Structure 1
Amino acid sequence: MRKIILAGAVLLTTALGASSFAMADKAASMSPEKMQERHASMCSDRSAREIGHLAYLQEKLKPTSAQTAAWTKYRDALTAQAKTAEQNCLTRPARVKGERPSIVERQAMMQKGLEAKLASLKATQPALQGLYASLTDEQKQVLDREGGNRHFASWRGHGRHGGGMEYKARFERHHDKPAPEAPVEQ
């Protein structure tokens, strides 16, 4: 079963890789209006994925009737933050080929993004604490494993694909054994 899943993942990765080259070429020839439309679609897709993840998490946690109020408060807090993040995303201009913000502008954008993420964490923390306190030990394990820290999904570790401790945690979670140590550079 694991080999079939792995083979499917390899095929999917290959297909996505090929399509990303085609998309990059297509993006280079897009009009600014099309780029803005594509940007808006990516913003709403991110929000939809977050809401979909909450449905998945609810199915995995299977909250009891006694936990429903805490779950609903948590879900609503994260849904509100996902919608806020979508609106923040939509206010950022789409990148236009050949135009790159200055280092001052990039740093200001980074600061604004970090402040928004911090506000999001502060807004959702009380609901998370309430939910976590109501869960059984088994449910806490599920939330610890599957809940993740999706607030920082776009800048975990190195680059967009994660790295460092996040890689080790994912490896250990999926392989049920310690991650191999990274080679030490000399």
Structure 2
Amino acid sequence: MRKALIPTLASLALCGAATVTLIATNATAQTAAPARKPVMMALVAPGTMLAENTPAPSPDRNMRMPSSAEMAAAFKQMCEDRYAREAGRMGYLEARLSLTQSEQPLFARWKGVKLDIAKKRAADCGQAVSRLDHKAATPVEHMSREQDILKKRLADLDAERPALAALYDALTPKQREAFSGDHRMMAGGGMDHRGMMRRGMMMRPDMRPGPMEPGDHPPPPPPL
């Protein structure tokens, strides 16, 4: 019996030694080579790679100040559209007021005065743009131009006021409310863009601020 156990014990001893050797070998291998973390690979389309590698465009690449010639052309077009804008506003207001037969002649009189003024001021505006010399005006010249504009505006008010008063006195309270709302919208003087256009002032075609003639502001937005 004892002779039979000796070979069995020897086999167990050899197996244990082999196991210890295997564990030691694995530990040495893990210490020598750093563990590698799994890496996920993704397929990227060529267009995506190009977009990622292309530098972002500069914010100022597509932005530039208009030239003096471009500004002059824009203001010339504004002058030419002046009469058309006033005629369109008159037509809109006439339809909005729903005038009676007795009110229509009074409106026609006031409309005629307004369109006559618009035609004169459009001509003045076009002449001012055409003779632009691109030279900075002296303080005296600037004051003279502003004075001339104010004189013309005062003459326009003197011509318009009698016809306006006669029409307004004949309107009903509801019509007056509609009329006053339209008048306030047009009297705002234009957009406030901090340098391009302010109430009573505008950026001239030569990029210099100057007095703004009456009616040089853009047309009002269409009613909702």
Where 1:25 maps in the other structure, the secondary structure is coil
For the aligned residue pairs, the C-alpha RMSD in angstroms reads 3.1
Where 2:88 maps in the other structure, the secondary structure is helix
The residue aligned with 1:176 is none
Where 1:153 maps in the other structure, the secondary structure is coil
Conserved in 2, the CA contact under 8 Å of 1:46 and 1:86?
A: yes
Separation in 2 of the partners of 1:35 and 1:161? Answer: 17
Separation in 2 of the partners of 1:112 and 1:25? Answer: 30
Separation in 1 of the partners of 2:161 and 2:176? Answer: 15
CA 1:154/1:128 → structure 2, altered by over 3 Å: closer, same or farther? same
CA 1:122/1:154 → structure 2, altered by over 3 Å: closer, same or farther? farther
Where 1:148 maps in the other structure, the secondary structure is helix
CA 1:151/1:118 → structure 2, altered by over 3 Å: closer, same or farther? farther
* 1:98-177 equivalence runs, <5 A: 99-148=135-184, 150=186, 153=189, 160-162=197-199
The one-letter code of the counterpart of 2:189 is A
How far residue 130 of structure 1 moved from its aligned partner, in angstroms, is 0.8
The one-letter code of the counterpart of 2:89 is H
The one-letter code of the counterpart of 1:25 is M
Specify which of 61, 79, 90 is matched with residue 126 of structure 2.
Answer: 90
The residue aligned with 2:212 is none
CA 1:131/1:153 → structure 2, altered by over 3 Å: closer, same or farther? same
How far residue 89 of structure 1 moved from its aligned partner, in angstroms, is 1.1
CA 1:96/1:154 → structure 2, altered by over 3 Å: closer, same or farther? farther
- Report the TM-score, using the length of structure 2 for normalisation: 0.52
- Report the TM-score, using the length of structure 1 for normalisation: 0.61
The one-letter code of the counterpart of 2:165 is Q
How far residue 155 of structure 1 moved from its aligned partner, in angstroms, is 9.9
State whether structure 2 residue 112 is matched by structure 1 residue 72: no
Q: Which has the larger radius of gyration?
A: 2
Conserved in 2, the CA contact under 8 Å of 1:35 and 1:96?
A: no
The count of aligned residue pairs is: 136
The residue aligned with 1:25 is 65
How far residue 26 of structure 1 moved from its aligned partner, in angstroms, is 3.9
How far residue 150 of structure 1 moved from its aligned partner, in angstroms, is 4.3
Structure 2 residues without counterparts, runs of 5 or longer: 1-61, 201-224
Q: Give the percent of matched residue pairs that are identical in Structure 1 and Structure 2.
A: 25
More helix as a share of residues: 1
The one-letter code of the counterpart of 1:90 is G
Separation in 2 of the partners of 1:83 and 1:136? Answer: 30
Where 1:107 maps in the other structure, the secondary structure is helix
